[in-house]
Structure 1
Amino acid sequence: MKRNLNCPCGETIVGSDEDDLVEKTKAHLAANHPGHDYSRDEILFIAY
């Protein structure tokens, strides 16, 4: 199960599970990178 993602901006996003990680990543993208929206599969592809 993937729970971590390093955003290219330098922020590390950590979730308690994959659903939480995707939710937190989407919130980070909306707040910090408007216009960059990725699917669950795309987020999990770059997560570890």
Structure 2
Amino acid sequence: MKTRLNCPCGEHLTGANEDELVDIVRKHLTENHPGHDYSRDEILFIAY
């Protein structure tokens, strides 16, 4: 299960599980990188 992702902006994002991580990443993208929308699969591809 992947629960961490390092955004290229330097932010380190962590979730308790993959669903939470995807939610956290999407919120981060909306707030900090408007226009950058990624699918669940794309987010999990770069997560670890």
With structure 1 as the length reference, what TM-score do the two structures score? 1.00
Find out whether 1:47 has 2:26 as its counterpart.
no
Unaligned runs of 5+ in 2: none
Unaligned runs of 5+ in 1: none
Runs of 4+ in 1 over 2 A off after TM superposition: none
Q: CA deviation at 1:29?
A: 0.1
Q: CA deviation at 1:39?
A: 0.2
Q: CA deviation at 1:44?
A: 0.0
Q: CA deviation at 1:31?
A: 0.1
With structure 2 as the length reference, what TM-score do the two structures score? 1.00
1:45 aligned counterpart, secondary structure? helix
- The answer for the alignment partner of 2:26 in structure 1 is 26
Q: CA deviation at 1:30?
A: 0.1
Q: CA deviation at 1:41?
A: 0.1
What is the count of residue pairs matched by the alignment? 48
Give identity over the alignment, percent: 69
